[in-house]
Amino acid sequence: MINVLIGFFIATLITSLFTNRLFRLYFWYGINSLILGLIGIVIGKIYSLNELVIMGIITIIIKFIIIPTVLKKITLTFNISRDITPIMKIQYLTILVPIILVFTYYLITPVLITFSTHPNFVAIAISSLFLSLLLIMEHKRMIAKIIGFLFMENALFLLGIVSTNGMPMLIELGIFFDLMMFILIINLLFKYQGE
């Protein structure tokens, strides 16, 4: 079950690399977060860690429902242009994405034996970290870069889950409040700068 979900986690991230419409990007971010929450719930059920299940549910509520809705509302309120064509050509991306995937796996192979929990999932988490970095690099517009940051946060959350079977709940909750503040600051930024 986790295998399937992790496969779809990275697939949604790669699909979002190829989009050039803003609302499509929000949609893929929502699906990515939904899968992340489901991964948390499934791992929590398997190892009977209740805090991980709660974290999964909070992830789904905040990142799948609230954040895309708020971002959509901001976009419509401040009349932000919804065309986010990447400055990097698609042909280069087609080469770069496999290189990143293979390179990350090669990079992480010596370290993998030290992880006792899910060694191969760590490779996927780190490659999704690199891919979200690519998402930040390929866009010129700020709003798309922000979605890149949010994707990177998702990848870090996944890395936290699969490498340590869940961090303490207090830290996770702190991250969520951090994220909410982040969204508020973006709101202010758009209000006064306008793009």
Partner 1 sequence: MINYMLTIFIIFLIAPFLQGLTKSIKMYLLFKKPLSPFQPYINYMKLIRKEVIYAKESSIISRIAVFMVLGPIIMVVFLMPPVFHGSFYISFIDAFTITGLLSLSTFFLMLLGLDSASAFGGIGSSREAFISALVEPAMILTIFSISLIGKSIGVSGAVLNLNTYFDINHAASFILAAISFFIILIAENGRVPVDNPETHLELTMVHEAMILEASGTNLMLIETASALKFAVFATLFVSLFFPFGINHCWCLAVLVFIAKLVLVSIAVAFIEVNTAKLRLFKVPNLLGIAIIFGFLSLFIYYVVGE
Query: How far, in Å, are 85, 94, 172 from residue 190 at the CA level?
Result: 20, 33, 27
CB 40 within 8 A of CB 160: no
Residues in contact with partner 1, counted by CB under 8 A, come to a total of 24
In the bound state with partner 1, the residue whose beta carbon lies nearer, of 91 and 116, is 91
Q: What is the DSSP string of 140-181?
A: -SHHHHHHHHHHHHHHHHHHHHHHHS---HHHHHHHHHHHHH
Member of 26, 28, 64, 121 binding partner 1 (CB under 8 A): 121
Bridge partner residues of 83 (DSSP): 21
Q: Which stretch binds partner 1 (CB under 8 A): 62-70, 73-81, 121-129, 185-193?
A: 121-129
Say how many C-beta atoms besides its own lie within 10 A of residue 92's C-beta: 11
Site track 72-111 with partner 1 (rule: CB under 8 A), x = hit: ------------------xx-xx--xx--xx--x------
Half-sphere exposure of 188 (CA within 13 A, CB side): 5
CB 103 within 8 A of CB 85: no
Q: Which stretch binds partner 1 (CB under 8 A): 2-10, 62-70, 172-180, 187-195?
A: 2-10
User: Based on the number of CB atoms within 10 Å of its own CB, is 168 exposed (0-12), middle (13-18) or buried (19 or more)?
Assistant: exposed
By CB under 8 A, residue 15 contacts partner 1: yes
Distance CA(19)–CA(86), nearest Å, equals 8
Member of 52, 123, 147, 161 binding partner 1 (CB under 8 A): 123
By CB under 8 A, residue 7 contacts partner 1: yes
Site track 19-58 with partner 1 (rule: CB under 8 A), x = hit: ----------------------------------------
Residues that bind partner 1 (CB under 8 A): 3-8, 10-11, 14-15, 18, 90-91, 93-94, 97-98, 101-102, 105, 120-121, 123-124
